Chains A and B, each alone.
Chain A
């Protein structure tokens, strides 16, 4: 065995954290670069960039995380979730640079508790909300063979463009004009001779196909392949002229040569050309889900969930199979403000989620509970709602776009009963809750004269002194 041949010191090094730690991946783009100048460099980033390490509790007591030196006990033993990210194993100051990684570690754990697959179709991310036309379309798992081809022969890359998610070239629709100009000058212009060679190969193969077809018709044996070097410069120039009048063929050639990510055909208004000219353009249909929003930076599942489908049923020990997967509690991070025309922001499993459109509680105006409109500081732990996670997708930046819907009332009740907060069948306790008389304390609170200081902004304005 290969492992035997390694010296003891070498084996120790191989299994040490120093060599087992993955290199950090590039962080998500800072929002400040996107035109919004409000950002924080210390906020939790949208996806983890460093590996999260953990250790056993007995080792943690000793500060042993498998690193070069033991970590300080004071800052690593208090958390109930031992998760760290190591930014540098050893710095010039001879310290190990580490910080807590519970933010992303717990988020992943919570996401996996949801039990939903990661889909690959039309994720809505960033500022673009999901549109009504795409919200209820059936979603495909990111692991479907039709979408997830990674081991592709270089010659077949062009044919299998709809199955791929990784491209060496850029996604042109996501580039700004300046980036595009720079890319043209730096990357594309030096490749001119190579492109001519590429076209010559194309001409040769087209010619071979024509000759072979003719030979087949005449019943002769197949001719040999046409040598690309036999294509003259004049023929190439003629071919180029023909290409210029066929936009789709030209884009296909350029896209194959540079391995560009697929693009959505533009609308008439997007082209900025007169209608007659747009009519002359022809576009082929695009089947890949990444043409509209750009290809993902990671595998489309981001390794979050390996489920292929959400079409499974949960079985309750008493009530039997359940129609819905167990709903979860979502936190209302920001209430809906009509003055600023901003909707409520809801967090589920540590992610800001996409709420469903249409006639859902998130969108109703006259919600009796008004839980989406008001902040009630007397609610311990903040306002929460039960939501039904529908699906998740990873957008082109790498953010997880989780879509939720209203939770069914029955499913919520069953879930609450599992937590011990409600009673389904034995309805006495629930009835008692409904018929509960006001206690003397409630009455006292209601009729007590409000007491607040006369300062401009008081604790009362934050609902704290009732």
Chain B
């Protein structure tokens, strides 16, 4: 995915270079772009002196493209037509480019359609409109009291750092009931559980629990393994 991402952005840059800058900029002195020109062996004579260490990597087109992406392109120094043609030659056929372009288009459209359709839902033309679709983009606080729905006692769960983290902002403050959607009784209980966990040193007071951060870093779901419910204890 990431590979496709940066390839597609490269493609976009290449396209943009075709339109407005039909002529290569002869007097570009930016080192990375010059380096790329060197790679293709077409650098204008004025930039000969700027040859960097990358000029030796002529054989590896991947590196060339990568260097082009990472260094110079963002600053608006596009490739010439000839350079672009060479990039395309080295990186796949016309069909591949077309495929990449279609993927980019699809990604862009999918990004505009945040709604996750569920089987059995009814749609009408109005539901596809941007005004309606954008409503699915932003999350809302829960309308119902989660503690009441799940029927657990917050104070018995002060050791459950996943639970405590859900009611704490990234800066370590207790979330307001506007965000948690809890009724006052349960909000007080949850707040007490958070204070208890922090006071006992079980939960950091400034950020998320390190165990959660570790799981996030490895891309693992935080609450992956459900523990079997023990009927004797009123725990989640």
- A: residues with CB less than 8 A from B are 30, 32-33, 35, 37-47, 102-104, 106-107, 124-127, 129, 176-182, 272, 333-335, 337, 339, 342, 345, 347, 350-354, 370, 373-377, 395, 397, 399-402, 449-454, 457, 460-463
| A457 close to B119 (CB less than 8 A) | no
Within 8 Å by CB of A126, from B105, B110, B119, B132, lies B119
| B136 close to A337 (CB less than 8 A) | no
Chain B 141-162 interface residues, beta-carbon cutoff 8 Å to A: 141-144, 147-152
Within 8 Å by CB of B148, from A30, A178, A400, A402, lies A178
| A453 close to B16 (CB less than 8 A) | yes
Q: Give the docked Cα–Cα distance between A176 and B121 (Å).
A: 23
Q: Give the docked Cα–Cα distance between A352 and B128 (Å).
A: 13
11 pairs, A vs B, C-beta closer than 8 Å: A33-B142, A41-B135, A44-B126, A46-B120, A46-B121, A47-B122, A104-B122, A127-B118, A457-B108, A461-B12, A461-B104
| B136 close to A354 (CB less than 8 A) | no
9 closest residue pairs by CB, A with B: A399-B120, A178-B151, A103-B124, A177-B151, A40-B135, A454-B16, A37-B139, A463-B105, A345-B117
List the A side residues contacting B225 at CB < 8 Å.
none
List the B side residues contacting A176 at CB < 8 Å.
149-151
| A339 close to B140 (CB less than 8 A) | no
Q: Give the docked Cα–Cα distance between A326 and B19 (Å).
A: 49
Given contacts A46-B120, A272-B229, 14 further A-B contacts (CB under 8 A): A33-B149, A39-B136, A40-B135, A179-B151, A182-B151, A333-B128, A335-B106, A370-B102, A376-B105, A395-B120, A449-B19, A452-B15, A453-B19, A463-B105
List the B side residues contacting A342 at CB < 8 Å.
116
Q: Give the docked Cα–Cα distance between A436 and B120 (Å).
A: 42
Task: Determine how close the nearest CB of chain B comes to the CB of A170; give it in whole angstroms.
Answer: 15
List the A side residues contacting B115 at CB < 8 Å.
38, 40, 43
List the A side residues contacting B233 at CB < 8 Å.
none
Task: Given the known inter-chain contacts A178-B149, A375-B110, A377-B105, please indicate yes or no for A45 contacting B117, CB distance below 8 A.
Answer: no
Q: Give the docked Cα–Cα distance between A38 and B127 (Å).
A: 15
List the A side residues contacting B69 at CB < 8 Å.
none
List the B side residues contacting A129 at CB < 8 Å.
119
Residue of A nearest to B21 (CB): A454
Interface centre among B19, B123, B147 (most CB of A within 10 A): B123
- Write the B12-31 contact mask toward A (1 if CB under 8 angstroms, else 0): 10011011100000000000
| A375 close to B148 (CB less than 8 A) | no
| A37 close to B151 (CB less than 8 A) | no
Q: Give the docked Cα–Cα distance between A451 and B106 (Å).
A: 19
Task: Determine how close the nearest CB of chain B comes to the CB of A399; give it in whole angstroms.
Answer: 3
List the B side residues contacting A178 at CB < 8 Å.
147-152
Task: Kindly state the interface size class of chain B when it binds its partner.
Answer: 35 or more
Kindly count the residue-residue contacts between A and B in the assembled complex, taking CB atoms under 8 Å apart: 168
Task: Determine how close the nearest CB of chain B comes to the CB of A207; give it in whole angstroms.
Answer: 35
Q: Give the docked Cα–Cα distance between A44 and B120 (Å).
A: 12
List the A side residues contacting B103 at CB < 8 Å.
374
| A38 close to B106 (CB less than 8 A) | no
| B124 close to A400 (CB less than 8 A) | no
List the B side residues contacting A377 at CB < 8 Å.
105, 109
| A454 close to B119 (CB less than 8 A) | no
| B140 close to A39 (CB less than 8 A) | yes
Residue of A nearest to B118 (CB): A126
Task: Determine how close the nearest CB of chain A comes to the CB of B121; give it in whole angstroms.
Answer: 5
List the A side residues contacting B132 at CB < 8 Å.
40, 42-43
Within 8 Å by CB of A450, from B18, B108, B135, lies B18
| B118 close to A179 (CB less than 8 A) | no
| A373 close to B106 (CB less than 8 A) | yes
Q: Give the docked Cα–Cα distance between A244 and B127 (Å).
A: 53
Task: Given the known inter-chain contacts A32-B143, A46-B120, A453-B16, please indicate yes or no for A461 contacting B108, CB distance below 8 A.
Answer: yes
Q: Give the docked Cα–Cα distance between A354 and B120 (Å).
A: 8
Residue of A nearest to B144 (CB): A33
List the B side residues contacting A180 at CB < 8 Å.
151
Q: Give the docked Cα–Cα distance between A30 and B143 (Å).
A: 9
List the B side residues contacting A47 at CB < 8 Å.
122
Within 8 Å by CB of A462, from B109, B113, B124, B128, lies B109
List the A side residues contacting B126 at CB < 8 Å.
44, 103
Residue of A nearest to B230 (CB): A272
| B106 close to A375 (CB less than 8 A) | yes
| A38 close to B120 (CB less than 8 A) | no
List the B side residues contacting A272 at CB < 8 Å.
228-229
Residue of B nearest to A457 (CB): B108
Interface centre among A335, A354, A449, A454 (most CB of B within 10 A): A454
Q: Give the docked Cα–Cα distance between A295 and B179 (Å).
A: 34
| A37 close to B122 (CB less than 8 A) | no
- Write the B85-127 contact mask toward A (1 if CB under 8 angstroms, else 0): 0000000000000000011111011100111111111111011
